[in-house]
Amino acid sequence: MGTQLRGKAAIITGGAGGIGRAAALLFAREGAAVSVVDLNRDAGQDIVREIHEVGGRGIFECADVTSSSDCRRVVERTIREFGGIDVLFNNAGIIRRASVVEISEEDWDAVMKVNVKSMFFMCREVIPIMVKAKGGSIINSASGWGLAGGARAAAYCASKGAVVLMTKAMAIDHGRENIRVNCLCPGDTDTAMLRNEARQLGEEEDRFLVESAKRPLGRMGRPEEIAEAALYLASDAASFVTGTALVVDGGGLASSG
């Protein structure tokens, strides 16, 4: 077991799969007690079992992060179980690949609720806890497409751009309370969500993944690599880092704009 998060308690939304799952395991291995939040009950319970098998502490809460009452329940249980909250990783997210003339109002609203409003709900519950504890770290999942646009992803780009600026605004508001707020901007990462994009666009999955790998490092990211970046932002190693949008994309944005 590592020590970078020893004695800390963390909430990870979207923690049952992809980047969230990798972060839950990594945070636990580094000593954190982890509250895994997801709608996928079976996958969430599986990841908590894995945490326990490696000697870590973890709980699972089946919750809809677009519900303010569910977010409150997650926070209340985490405090009951672990005594506080030191790290919040707002990782839950969805994508709908469509232009503004293609996307339905329902899909637009769903992307905004999961990708932006859920972070508002979770931060509103957690920040007062961190203020009382005299500090904490909040990590929001943005995207490279929150900094540069992408084709047929208008709602997703809009939501992730909102996350980047919400992160900066929160860092300003809560810096004097010793609460650091940063966001991660991953590039294409080998997750189920990325593969689902191919289906949404009607493209062959293998071809889509080959295209996703076209960046200076010549490959997609792995969830574990994004989790390592989240660990850095969560840990004391990033004690003077706040308000930043950390790009982890294999160089994908290096030649943009």
Residues with active-site annotation: 156
Query: Which strands make up the sheet holding 179-186, listed edge to edge?
Result: 57-62, 33-38, 9-13, 87-90, 136-141, 179-186, 245-248
CB atoms within 10 A of CB 130: 23
Q: Under a CB-based contact definition with an 8 Å cutoff, are residues 158 and 107 in contact?
A: no
The H-or-E segment that residue 109 falls in is: helix 105-112
Q: Under a CB-based contact definition with an 8 Å cutoff, are residues 36 and 114 in contact?
A: no
Listed as own residue / partner, the contacts of 235-242 with beta carbons closer than 8 Å and 24 or more positions apart are 235/4, 235/5, 235/30, 235/137, 236/4, 237/4, 238/137, 238/180, 238/182, 239/180, 241/180, 241/182, 242/171, 242/175, 242/180, 242/181, 242/182
Q: What is the CA radius of gyration of the chain?
A: 17
Q: Under a CB-based contact definition with an 8 Å cutoff, are residues 12 and 32 in contact?
A: no
The whole-angstrom separation of Cα 234 and Cα 201 is 35
How do beta strands 179-186 and 136-141 pair? parallel
Task: Give me 180's structure tokens.
Answer: 């650091």
